[in-house]
């Protein structure tokens, strides 16, 4: 590979990796980070001569054509468009408010600007990295139906230490998988006839409930309050838990409290 070509490719890779590090970081933090981080700038190739040979297009003209093309297709990238709701695994449902360009290390990179209104947060994700971070479209109807059916099933609580179960629940919540999130809601849900949740259980339950409700709200075009009611209605359709199960859960509660105390 010629030295100039390698330098350009290397510089672009550095720029993308730098911006990828900002994905998942609030906008204000990104600005502070941009002020203190220095990214090496590769030598740019010399500008082409401005001759008038037939069929020759100057570098400035090429940039102009690329800029016009970018403006023409600025609303859609890789199947995602501005104004569309998406799911970002570690933050849940957000909305693409724009697709913008930023120049880093002398290279222009396109970024999705994603707003999470409830969290009052904005993320900028490099377009080439959306597959890596797991950004996806809202779930299809069949996936939504499957998640609601999951809520109606029997809770599956593993007989392992609470700390390990908590890690598994958190991984499911941050996976971005609607069915996996519904499993957490189902397993941590407690009816009025059952022992109350511990503090850590309650935190995980509310996090999973919030993620699921936001996506159901966006898919079905209903409010989050209505989405929570829909989830609770399906939870109530689940099998009733007998006295034996309640005793087992009481034992689990004692174990959780012991872990938290430790």
Question: Would you call 195 helix, strand, or coil by DSSP?
Answer: coil
Strand partners, 77: 80
**CA 39 – CA 83 distance, rounded (Å):** 32
- Name the helix (H) or strand (E) containing 260: helix 243-261
Say if pTM beats, i.e. exceeds, 0.75.
Answer: no
Tokens of 97: 């408010």
Q: What are phi and psi of 67, to 5 degrees?
A: -65, -40
Output the pLDDT for position 107: 84
C-alpha closest to that of 23 among 94, 75, 117, 74 = 94
Residue 47 has pLDDT above 80, yes or no: no
Least Cα distance to 28 among 135, 121, 139, 157 occurs for: 121
Contacts of 162 (CB under 8 A, 6+ apart): 200, 252, 255, 256, 259, 260
Query: What gap in Å lies between CA 148 and CA 182, rounded to an integer?
Result: 7
Which domains are assigned to the chain? 3-40+77-137 (2.40.10.170), 141-261 (1.20.58.1290)
Least confident stretch, 13-17, 45-49, 99-103, 135-139: 45-49
Task: Please tell me the predicted confidence (pLDDT) of residue 255.
Answer: 54
Give the model confidence (pLDDT) of 232-262 as tens digits: 999 998 886 443 344 444 445 555 555 555 5
**Which range (8-12, 83-87, 91-95) has the least confidence?**
8-12
Number of alpha helices (DSSP H) and beta strands (DSSP E) in the chain: 10, 7
């Amino acid at each position: 590979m010629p030295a100039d070509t390698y330098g350009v490719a290397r510089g672009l890779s550095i720029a993308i990796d730098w911006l990828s590090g900002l994905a998942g970081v609030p906008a204000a933090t990104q600005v502070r980070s941009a002020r203190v981080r220095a990214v090496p700038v590769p030598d740019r190739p010399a500008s082409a001569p401005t001759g008038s040979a037939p069929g020759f297009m100057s570098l400035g003209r090429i940039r102009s054509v690329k800029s016009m093309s970018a403006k023409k297709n600025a609303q859609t990238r890789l199947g995602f468009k501005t104004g569309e709701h998406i799911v970002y695994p570690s933050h849940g449902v957000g909305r693409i408010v724009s697709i913008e360009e930023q120049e880093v290390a002398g290279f222009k990179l396109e970024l999705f600007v994603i707003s999470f209104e409830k969290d009052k947060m904005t993320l900028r994700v490099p377009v080439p990295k959306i597959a890596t971070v797991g950004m996806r479209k809202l779930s299809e109807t069949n996936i939504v139906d499957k998640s609601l059916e999951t809520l109606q099933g029997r809770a599956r609580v593993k007989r392992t230490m609470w700390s390990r179960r908590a890690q598994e629940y958190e991984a499911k919540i941050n996976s971005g998988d609607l069915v996996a999130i519904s499993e957490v809601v189902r397993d941590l849900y407690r009816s009025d006839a059952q022992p109350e949740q511990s503090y850590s259980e309650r935190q995980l339950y509310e996090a999973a409930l919030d993620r699921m409700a936001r996506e159901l709200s966006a898919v079905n075009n209903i409010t989050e309050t209505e989405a929570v009611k829909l989830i609770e209605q399906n939870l109530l359709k689940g099998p009733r838990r007998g006295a034996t199960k309640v005793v087992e859960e009481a034992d689990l509660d004692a174990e959780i409290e012991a872990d938290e105390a430790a």
